[in-house]
Amino acid sequence: MKVAAFNAKKLGLRKVKNTKVCKYLIEIISQYSIVFILEVMDKTGKAQSCVSATHKNKICDNYEMVCSSALGRNGYKEKFVCFYREDEVQLRDQHQYEDNQPGDEDAFAREPLILRFNCPTTVIKDLVLIPVHTQPNDAEKELDELHDVVKIMRNKWKTSKPLLCLCAHFNSANPNCDSALHQTVTFASKL
Protein backbone atom coordinates (compact mmCIF):
# COMPACT_ATOMS: atom_id res chain seq x y z
CA MET A 1 0.00 0.00 0.00
CA LYS A 2 1.32 3.45 -0.93
CA VAL A 3 0.00 6.81 0.29
CA ALA A 4 0.82 10.24 -1.14
CA ALA A 5 -0.18 13.89 -0.95
CA PHE A 6 0.78 16.79 -3.14
CA ASN A 7 -0.10 20.41 -3.74
CA ALA A 8 -1.63 20.82 -7.21
CA LYS A 9 -1.14 24.62 -7.15
CA LYS A 10 -4.60 26.06 -7.79
CA LEU A 11 -6.02 23.04 -9.59
CA GLY A 12 -9.22 24.07 -11.31
CA LEU A 13 -11.31 23.11 -14.30
CA ARG A 14 -9.05 24.90 -16.78
CA LYS A 15 -5.99 22.97 -15.62
CA VAL A 16 -7.87 19.66 -15.58
CA LYS A 17 -9.12 20.19 -19.13
CA ASN A 18 -5.49 20.43 -20.28
CA THR A 19 -4.93 16.86 -21.51
CA LYS A 20 -1.26 16.87 -20.52
CA VAL A 21 -2.05 17.94 -16.94
CA CYS A 22 -4.89 15.43 -16.66
CA LYS A 23 -2.63 12.67 -18.01
CA TYR A 24 -0.01 13.42 -15.32
CA LEU A 25 -2.63 13.55 -12.56
CA ILE A 26 -3.97 10.16 -13.60
CA GLU A 27 -0.47 8.68 -13.76
CA ILE A 28 0.23 9.94 -10.24
CA ILE A 29 -3.09 8.77 -8.78
CA SER A 30 -2.70 5.33 -10.37
CA GLN A 31 0.52 4.65 -8.45
CA TYR A 32 -1.08 4.91 -5.01
CA SER A 33 -3.65 3.22 -2.82
CA ILE A 34 -4.55 6.60 -1.31
CA VAL A 35 -3.61 10.02 -2.67
CA PHE A 36 -4.56 13.51 -1.48
CA ILE A 37 -4.55 16.46 -3.83
CA LEU A 38 -4.23 19.78 -2.00
CA GLU A 39 -5.22 23.21 -3.28
CA VAL A 40 -8.08 22.17 -5.54
CA MET A 41 -9.79 25.46 -6.35
CA ASP A 42 -13.08 24.81 -8.06
CA LYS A 43 -16.37 26.02 -6.60
CA THR A 44 -18.45 23.84 -8.92
CA GLY A 45 -16.76 20.53 -8.12
CA LYS A 46 -16.36 19.82 -11.83
CA ALA A 47 -12.54 19.68 -11.73
CA GLN A 48 -12.28 16.79 -9.27
CA SER A 49 -15.23 15.02 -10.89
CA CYS A 50 -13.54 15.36 -14.28
CA VAL A 51 -10.32 13.82 -12.94
CA SER A 52 -12.32 11.04 -11.28
CA ALA A 53 -14.32 10.23 -14.42
CA THR A 54 -11.27 10.34 -16.70
CA HIS A 55 -9.30 8.19 -14.29
CA LYS A 56 -12.05 5.57 -14.07
CA ASN A 57 -12.39 5.44 -17.87
CA LYS A 58 -8.67 5.19 -18.62
CA ILE A 59 -7.08 3.25 -15.80
CA CYS A 60 -9.17 1.65 -13.13
CA ASP A 61 -12.71 1.85 -11.85
CA ASN A 62 -11.75 0.82 -8.31
CA TYR A 63 -11.05 4.38 -7.15
CA GLU A 64 -13.44 6.39 -5.03
CA MET A 65 -13.19 10.08 -4.20
CA VAL A 66 -13.79 12.10 -1.03
CA CYS A 67 -13.76 15.88 -1.11
CA SER A 68 -13.71 18.43 1.68
CA SER A 69 -15.95 21.44 1.72
CA ALA A 70 -14.47 24.70 0.40
CA LEU A 71 -11.90 25.77 2.99
CA GLY A 72 -10.21 29.09 3.59
CA ARG A 73 -10.63 32.63 4.73
CA ASN A 74 -12.23 35.50 2.85
CA GLY A 75 -12.41 34.90 -0.90
CA TYR A 76 -9.59 32.34 -1.08
CA LYS A 77 -11.10 28.86 -0.95
CA GLU A 78 -9.63 25.47 -1.73
CA LYS A 79 -10.54 21.82 -1.21
CA PHE A 80 -8.72 18.69 -0.17
CA VAL A 81 -9.54 15.81 -2.52
CA CYS A 82 -8.70 12.20 -1.72
CA PHE A 83 -8.72 9.33 -4.21
CA TYR A 84 -8.50 5.81 -2.79
CA ARG A 85 -8.61 2.28 -4.16
CA GLU A 86 -11.67 0.66 -2.66
CA ASP A 87 -10.27 -2.81 -3.46
CA GLU A 88 -7.34 -2.09 -1.07
CA VAL A 89 -8.79 0.15 1.66
CA GLN A 90 -12.22 0.97 3.01
CA LEU A 91 -13.18 4.42 4.24
CA ARG A 92 -14.43 3.88 7.80
CA ASP A 93 -15.09 7.45 8.82
CA GLN A 94 -14.42 11.05 7.94
CA HIS A 95 -14.54 14.32 9.82
CA GLN A 96 -14.16 17.92 8.72
CA TYR A 97 -12.33 19.50 11.66
CA GLU A 98 -14.15 22.44 13.23
CA ASP A 99 -11.67 25.14 14.10
CA ASN A 100 -13.48 26.52 17.15
CA GLN A 101 -11.38 25.53 20.16
CA PRO A 102 -11.95 28.08 22.96
CA GLY A 103 -9.03 30.50 22.99
CA ASP A 104 -7.69 29.12 19.72
CA GLU A 105 -10.49 29.87 17.27
CA ASP A 106 -9.59 30.03 13.59
CA ALA A 107 -6.09 28.60 14.04
CA PHE A 108 -6.23 26.92 10.62
CA ALA A 109 -6.58 28.81 7.36
CA ARG A 110 -7.84 25.51 5.90
CA GLU A 111 -9.20 23.05 8.44
CA PRO A 112 -8.07 19.43 8.04
CA LEU A 113 -10.36 16.79 6.56
CA ILE A 114 -9.58 13.70 8.63
CA LEU A 115 -10.12 10.31 7.03
CA ARG A 116 -10.00 6.93 8.74
CA PHE A 117 -9.35 3.83 6.65
CA ASN A 118 -9.52 0.12 7.28
CA CYS A 119 -6.59 -1.59 5.53
CA PRO A 120 -7.37 -5.33 5.61
CA THR A 121 -4.43 -6.51 3.50
CA THR A 122 -1.67 -4.67 5.40
CA VAL A 123 0.01 -4.90 8.79
CA ILE A 124 -1.56 -1.55 9.65
CA LYS A 125 -5.27 -2.25 9.89
CA ASP A 126 -6.41 1.17 11.15
CA LEU A 127 -5.03 4.25 9.36
CA VAL A 128 -5.97 7.88 10.04
CA LEU A 129 -4.82 10.47 7.50
CA ILE A 130 -4.83 14.20 8.21
CA PRO A 131 -4.20 16.42 5.18
CA VAL A 132 -2.91 19.88 6.06
CA HIS A 133 -2.02 22.87 3.88
CA THR A 134 -0.70 25.55 6.18
CA GLN A 135 -0.46 29.28 5.48
CA PRO A 136 3.19 30.40 5.31
CA ASN A 137 2.64 33.19 7.87
CA ASP A 138 0.65 30.94 10.22
CA ALA A 139 2.49 27.64 9.74
CA GLU A 140 3.89 27.51 13.27
CA LYS A 141 0.48 28.17 14.85
CA GLU A 142 -1.23 25.65 12.58
CA LEU A 143 1.38 22.98 13.28
CA ASP A 144 0.91 23.58 17.00
CA GLU A 145 -2.87 23.22 16.60
CA LEU A 146 -2.37 19.74 15.12
CA HIS A 147 -1.79 18.53 18.70
CA ASP A 148 -5.42 19.35 19.46
CA VAL A 149 -6.63 17.76 16.23
CA VAL A 150 -4.93 14.47 17.13
CA LYS A 151 -6.30 14.46 20.70
CA ILE A 152 -9.84 15.37 19.61
CA MET A 153 -9.95 12.72 16.89
CA ARG A 154 -8.56 10.00 19.14
CA ASN A 155 -11.26 10.84 21.67
CA LYS A 156 -14.04 11.16 19.06
CA TRP A 157 -13.25 7.84 17.38
CA LYS A 158 -12.22 6.07 20.61
CA THR A 159 -9.17 4.77 18.82
CA SER A 160 -6.57 2.55 20.36
CA LYS A 161 -3.56 3.98 18.60
CA PRO A 162 -4.22 3.77 14.88
CA LEU A 163 -1.38 4.90 12.68
CA LEU A 164 -1.70 8.65 12.24
CA CYS A 165 -0.19 10.25 9.19
CA LEU A 166 0.04 13.93 8.32
CA CYS A 167 -0.31 14.43 4.56
CA ALA A 168 0.84 17.98 4.19
CA HIS A 169 2.26 20.99 2.50
CA PHE A 170 3.60 22.65 5.62
CA ASN A 171 4.91 25.90 4.08
CA SER A 172 7.41 25.79 6.90
CA ALA A 173 10.48 27.48 5.48
CA ASN A 174 11.11 29.63 8.55
CA PRO A 175 13.32 28.17 11.33
CA ASN A 176 10.59 28.42 14.00
CA CYS A 177 8.47 25.97 12.05
CA ASP A 178 11.14 23.27 12.19
CA SER A 179 10.73 23.22 15.96
CA ALA A 180 6.92 23.28 15.79
CA LEU A 181 6.91 20.48 13.22
CA HIS A 182 9.26 18.37 15.34
CA GLN A 183 7.09 18.91 18.43
CA THR A 184 3.94 18.02 16.48
CA VAL A 185 5.42 14.81 15.12
CA THR A 186 6.88 13.89 18.52
CA PHE A 187 3.57 14.59 20.22
CA ALA A 188 1.57 12.53 17.72
CA SER A 189 3.96 9.60 17.98
CA LYS A 190 3.61 9.50 21.78
CA LEU A 191 -0.18 9.28 21.77
Q: Could you give the percent of the chain with pLDDT greater than 70?
A: 75
At residue 116, the pLDDT reads: 93
Kindly report, residue by residue over 126-166, the tens digit of the pLDDT.
Answer: 888 888 877 777 777 777 788 788 888 888 888 766 666 66
166 versus 45: which is more confidently predicted? 45
At residue 92, the pLDDT reads: 95
pLDDT band at 186 (very low <50, low <70, confident <90, very high): very low
Kindly report, residue by residue over 81-112, the tens digit of the pLDDT.
Answer: 999 999 999 999 999 988 777 776 777 878 88
- Do the beta carbons of residue 33 and residue 3 sit within 8 Å? yes
pLDDT at 178 over 90: no
pLDDT at 118 over 90: yes
Q: Which domain covers residue 11, as residue numbers?
A: 3-190
What SS3 class is residue 175? helix
Q: How many CB atoms lie within 10 A of CB 147?
A: 15
Q: What is the CATH number of the domain that holds 112?
A: 3.60.10.10
Count: domains in the chain? 1
Residues with catalytic annotation? 78, 133
Q: How many CB atoms lie within 10 A of CB 108?
A: 23
12 versus 91: which is more confidently predicted? 91
pTM beyond 0.85, yes or no = no
Per the rule left: phi > 0, alpha: psi between -120 and 50, beta: everything else, 107 is alpha
